[in-house]
Amino acid sequence: MVFNASIRYVADKLFVDAVDVSAIVRETGTPTYVYSLGRARDNIRRLQSAFARLEARIHFSVKSNGSLALLRALKDEGVGFDCVSAGEIRLALEAGATGDDIVFAGVGKTRDEIAYAVTQGIGWFNVENALELRYIDEAAADAGLDAISVALRLNPQIEAKTHPHLATGHGAAKFGLTADVIGELLANQAAYPRLDFAGIHMHIGSQLGDSAATLAAVDSLLALIRPWRHITTINIGGGLPVAYRWDETLPALEDLVDALAPRLCGYGVLFEPGRAIVADAGILVAEILYVKRQAGQVFYIVDASMAELLRPALYDAYHEVAPLQTTDGEMTTAQVVGPVCETADVLARDRRLPMLQEGDKLALLTAGAYGMAMASNYNARPRPAEVVVDGGAWRVSRRRETLEDLIQYET
Ligand code: LLP
C-alpha to C-alpha distance for 21 and 24, rounded to whole angstroms? 5
**341 catalytic residue (yes or no):** yes
User: CB–CB of 114/130 below 8 Å?
Assistant: no
| Nearest protein Cα to ligand 1, atom 19 | 166
d(CA 138, CA 114): 10
Distance of CA 207 to the CA centre of its chain: 10
Average pLDDT of span 37-53: 96
Q: What is the pLDDT of residue 144?
A: 97
The answer to whether the beta carbons of residues 263 and 193 sit under 8 Å apart is no
Q: Where does the pLDDT of residue 19 fall: very low under 50, low under 70, confident under 90, or very high at 90 and above?
A: very high
Decide: 394 in ligand 1 pocket, CB within 6 A: no
Q: Where are the beta strands (DSSP E) in 166-237?
A: 195-201, 233-235
**Which residue(s) pair with 16 in the sheet?**
7, 19
To test the pocket of ligand 1, the residue of 168, 275, 364 to mutate (highest count of ligand atoms within 8 Å of its CB) is 275
Instruction: Place domain 37-274 in its CATH homologous superfamily.
Output: Alanine racemase (3.20.20.10)
Confidence (pLDDT) at 21: 98
- Give the nearest ligand 1 atom to 311 CA: 24
Per-residue model confidence (pLDDT) at position 112: 98
Ligand 1 within 6 A of 82 CB?
Answer: yes
Pick from 110-114, 158-162, 210-214: least confident:
158-162
Domain positions in the chain are 7-36+279-407, 37-274
**Is the CB of 153 inside a 6 Å radius of any atom of ligand 1?**
no
Strand residue runs (E) in 212-281: 233-235, 268-271
Q: Would you give the DSSP letter of residue 362? A: E
pLDDT at 165 over 90: no
Which residue of 43, 60, 64, 170 sits with most ligand 1 atoms within 8 Å of its CB, as the best mutation to test the pocket? 64
Among 11, 172, 190, 341, the one annotated catalytic = 341
3-state SS assignment for residue 240: coil
Atom of ligand 1 nearest to the CA of 168: 5
CA 375 to ligand 1 center in whole angstroms: 16
Q: Is the CB of 124 under 6 A from ligand 1?
A: no
Q: Which residue has the CA at smallest separation from atom 3 of ligand 1?
A: 203
- Pick from 206, 310, 376 the residue to mutate for probing ligand 1's pocket: most ligand atoms within 8 Å of its CB: 206
Tell me the best of 81, 83, 272 to mutate to test the pocket of ligand 1, counting ligand atoms within 8 Å of each CB and taking the most. Answer: 272
Atom of ligand 1 nearest to the CA of 201: 3
Q: Is 96 left (phi over 0), alpha (psi -120 to 50) or beta?
A: left
Residue-level pLDDT at 334: 98
Burial class (CB in 10 A: 0-12, 13-18, 19+), 58: buried
| pTM, rounded to two decimals | 0.97
In short, whether 370's Cβ falls inside 6 Å of ligand 1 is yes
- Helices 111-119 and 130-143: crossing angle in degrees, nearest 10, is 50
Poorest-pLDDT segment among 21-25, 100-104, 325-329: 325-329
Average pLDDT over residues 213-241: 96
187-209: pLDDT as tens digits = 999 999 999 999 999 999 999 98
| Ligand 1 centroid distance, CA of 217 (Å) | 17
pLDDT for residue 233 is more than 90: yes
Ligand 1 centroid distance, CA of 273 (Å): 8
CATH number of the structural domain 7-36+279-407: 2.40.37.10
Q: Is the preceding peptide bond at 31 cis, omega within 30 degrees of 0?
A: yes
Write phi, then psi, for 188 (nearest 5 degrees).
Answer: -110, 20
Measured distance CA(410)–CA(225) in Å, rounded: 50
What digits encode the pLDDT tens for the residues 245-283? 988 999 999 999 999 999 999 999 999 999 999 999 999
In angstroms, the CA 179 to CA 79 distance is 30
Q: Is 312 in the pocket of ligand 1 (CB under 6 A)?
A: no
Instruction: Give residue 207 CA to ligand 1 midpoint distance, Å.
Output: 8
CB 159 within 8 A of CB 213: yes
The DSSP line for 269-329 is EEE--SHHHHGGGEEEEEEEEEEEEETTEEEEEES--TTT--HHHHH-----EEESB--SS
- Integer-rounded Cα radius of gyration of the chain: 22
Question: Of all atoms in ligand 1, which is nearest to the CA of residue 208?
Answer: 15
The Å distance, Cα 374 to ligand 1 centre, comes to 12
In the reported structure, the alpha carbon of residue 140 is separated from the centroid of ligand 1 by a whole-number distance in angstroms of 28
